Amino acid sequence: MRGFIIKEFYHIFRDVRTMIILFGMPVIQILLFGFALTNEIKNARIAVLDHSKDDVTMEIINKIASSGYFILDENLSSESDIEDRFREGKIRLVIIFEQNFAENLLKGNKPGIHIIGDASDPNTASLLVNYALAIIRDYEADLIINQASFNMIILPEPKMLFNPELKGVFMFVPGIITVLLMLVCAMMTSISIAREKEIGTMEVLLVSPLKPFQIIVGKVAPYVVLSLVNAVTILTLGYFVFGMPMQGNIVLLLTEALLFIIMALSMGILISTIAKTQQVAMFISLAGLMLPTILLSGFIFPIENMPVALQVLSNIMPSKWFIIIIKSIMLKGTEIVYIWKETLILILMTVIFIGLSIKNFKIRLA
Amino acid sequence: MTINDHQHIIHVENLVKKFGSFVANDHLSFHVKKGEIFGFLGANGAGKTTAIKILCGLWKPTAGIIKVAGLDAYRETEKIKKNIGYMSQKFSLYDDMTIAENFTFFGGIYGLRRKEIRLKMNFFLEKLEIMEYRDRVIQALPLGWKQKLAFSIAIMHEPAIVFLDEPTSGVDPVTRRQFWDMIYEAAHEGITVFLTTHYMDEAEYCERVSIMVDGRIEALDTPGELKKRFSVQSMEEVFIRLARK
């Protein structure tokens, strides 16, 4: 058994591709997602068309420009420039103030602000419009409080709990851990078992006095260790580089991670009972596991926005439940009593996968 | 039929193996003597592999009496596995590990101690005259070496029987000849050799051969007797006669 695990480590450490996937991927992915692929907006270029040019519009423009989200690129002079600027593609948002803005405001005439977004990228556009609106509302609110002359309007004060700054990285760290554990465990084990079948050593192992159970444990044990190392690496990076909070119990988190790892491994074993070659194993893992994990787990696209059919489908994605668990523990400091349902689902899935693998294996032997 | 069980290292009586309604092995009966080189021939799909898998304890037979090294193929498969060696046509060594690491690993799964493994490895490497390559990875070695190493590793734990599944496919004639020398040597030391092959000239080297057609054994005898019976010059002709029937 010990010899078996040593052998498995030889395979892992002597294959450059395996090493890159195991240790390069986590770091690269988290840095990529953390720094480059954020859906937060910073320094979006905007233009302003100010027909009024008074104190109030100046103040609003300053407030917008100093928010950090926007850079004031240009003061336009006529409506006809707007379309040209958008076509050039440099400007993401144009804000137009109507004439006599301050005057109308003082008279209580509710002056208009026109916000035009470049919806060729609809997500960014709506985010930018929302940011701009929020800043203007903020200004409005200050005004109301300061002057007290207006009739009291209902003043909503939204507060974003657990992620007050709406940082994208809080989403990505749990997502990346999930995707990577899936990748390392399910794909790597299925490929490495398929590899033994391909080169014929699986036959030799099966003919040897080793029991199938020992073969499987020997094959997956190294991946359990490496996956845990990976999970800890990502968490550490998330914590120190991106300021990801760690509200909950770290032992609970690692235990849940271990459960997810075992779940993914049993998936990998199941794949390997079907796949005869490394290519097939890789294809099944990528098409059958990675894509759904990324697309349907709520990692990138919110599940609530999906069509009902996909929402239902997302329930059979183990990663969905694991992402919920990590987020609850890390961001909310949730205890096991509140996530027992998700945990149970993962345990159940593990049992099902192992059961199916044993069944497939038995069929082959019978 | 008076069979002396001590002499018969493999004893098969009316072995039947069915997959659903398909009969892969149809009442096979044969025995292999201790220290014999037994050729197990047949066209692809004739049922050779199925029979070997049953003899190796990988698959359960549907019916029949099967004893391998005196052990029952239904109940004692784990013990059978300890007493046999196996080498497939792919030579099945780990390409990314060195010769020494392969010896250590395979010796380990048969429960050999480190010291025994070292002794055995030195013995084989000296015999093959490749001692200085013990720390080379398998990948870099010529095919003929891999084949001989795979065979050495298959008999490292001194099994009663070694199963060779097309052990010489893809190897040049000179290497094949050298390999047969190793087979004879093993047989001489009392290891029974049970092998399948596609090369009919190799069938001539076997002490006895059986020829399977469509799940049944159509002929079983020494190569000389078989040629006499069909009044032909070579095993190849015997094989073609039977396969065309």
- Domains of chain A (ranges; CATH) run 2-37+167-365 (no CATH), 44-147 (3.40.1710.10)
Alpha helices by DSSP H, chain B? 48-55, 77-83, 99-109, 114-127, 143-154, 173-188, 200-205, 223-229, 235-244
Under the banding of pLDDT at 50, 70 and 90, the label for residue A126 is confident
**Chain A residues with CB-CB distance to B105 below 8 A:** 3-4, 6-7
User: Between the ranges A59-68, A300-309, B1-10, B121-130, where is the mean pLDDT highest?
Assistant: B121-130
Residue A349: pLDDT over 60:
yes
Contact assignment for A207 to B60 by CB distance below 8 Å? no
Query: Which candidate from B59, B88, B93 shows the least CB-CB separation from A365?
Result: B59
Whether the per-residue pLDDT at B13 is higher than 90: the answer is yes
In this prediction the pTM is: 0.75
Question: Is residue A148's pLDDT more than 60?
Answer: no
pLDDT category of residue A295 using cuts at 50, 70 and 90: confident
**Radius of gyration of chain A, Cα coordinates, nearest whole angstrom:** 27
Which ipTM was obtained for this model?
A: 0.87
**Tell me: the pLDDT tens digits for B155-196?**
999 999 999 988 888 788 888 888 999 999 999 999 999 999
Nearest by CB: B101 against A2, A4, A10? A10
The closest CB to that of B92, out of A14, A204, A209, belongs to A204
Looking at residue B138, what DSSP letter applies?
Answer: G
pLDDT for residue B65: 93
A219-236 residues labelled b (16+ CB within 10 A) or e (exposed) = bbbbbbebbeebbebbbe
What does the alpha-carbon distance between residue A308 and residue A285 come to, in Å, rounded to a whole number? 25
3-class DSSP state of B76: coil
| Model confidence band, residue A330 (pLDDT cutoffs 50, 70, 90) | confident
- Please write the tens of the pLDDT for every residue from A174-227: 888 888 888 778 888 888 888 888 888 888 888 888 888 888 888 888 888 888
What's the rounded Cα separation, in Å, for the pair B102 and B96? 9
Between strands A113-117 and B208-213, the pairing is: unpaired
pLDDT at A23: 79
Q: Which CATH class is domain B35-57+75-244?
A: alpha beta
| Backbone φ and ψ of A116, nearest 5° | -115, 125
pLDDT of residue B64: 92
Q: Cβ(A94)–Cβ(A66) under 8 Å?
A: no
CB contact under 8 A, B59 and A366: yes
CB within 8 Å: A10 and B95: no
SS (H, E, C) chain A: CHHHHHHHHHHHHHCHHHHHHHHHHHHHHHHHHHHHCCCCCCCEEEEEEECCCCHHHHHHHHHHHCCCCEEEEEEECCCHHHHHHHHHCCCCEEEEECCCHHHHHHCCCCCCEEEEECCCCHHHHHHHHHHHHHHHHHHHHHHHHHHCCCCCCCCCCCCCCCCCCCCCHHHHHHHHHHHHHHHHHHHHHHHHHHHHHHHCHHHHHHHCCCCHHHHHHHHHHHHHHHHHHHHHHHHHHHHHCCCCCCCCCHHHHHHHHHHHHHHHHHHHHHHHHHCCCHHHHHHHHHHHHHHHHHHHCCCCCCHHHCCHHHHHHHCCCHHHHHHHHHHHHHHHCCCHHHHHHHHHHHHHHHHHHHHHHHHHHHHHHC
Whether residue A160 has pLDDT greater than 70: no
Q: pLDDT tens for residues B76-99?
A: 988 999 999 999 888 889 989 999
Choose between A88 and A364: higher pLDDT: A88
Res A167 pLDDT > 70: no
Nearest CA of chain A to the CA of B135: how many Å?
14
For A16, name the nearest residue in chain B, comparing CA atoms only: B96
With a cut of 90, say whether residue A143 has pLDDT above it. Answer: no
Query: What is the mean pLDDT of the segment spanning B193-213?
Result: 89
CB atoms within 10 A of CB B123: 12
Return the domain boundaries, chain B: 35-57+75-244
Residue with tokens 């509710």: A110
Residues from B in contact with A at Cβ < 8 Å: 56-60, 78, 81-82, 84, 86-97, 101, 104-106, 108-111, 163
Poorest-confidence range of A244-248, B23-27, B219-223?
A244-248
| Alpha-carbon distance values, A331 to A113, A286, A334, B157, B192 (Å) | 37, 29, 8, 57, 67
Is residue A159's pLDDT more than 70? no
Q: DSSP secondary structure string, B16-55?
A: EEEETTEEEEEEEEEEEETT-EEEEEE-TTSSHHHHHHHH
Which residue do the tokens 């668990």 mark?
Answer: A325
Average pLDDT over residues A124-140: 81
Q: Which residue has the higher pLDDT, B133 or A160?
A: B133
Q: What is the pLDDT of residue B63?
A: 92
CA–CA separation, A292 vs B159, rounded Å? 49
pLDDT score of B2 more than 50: no
**Angle subtended at Cα A35 by Cα A34 and Cα A41, rounded to the nearest 5 degrees:** 105
Interface test with B, best of A1, A2, A6, A7 (most B CBs within 10 A): A7
Mean pLDDT, residues A12-24 taken together: 81
| Helix, coil or strand: residue B64 | strand
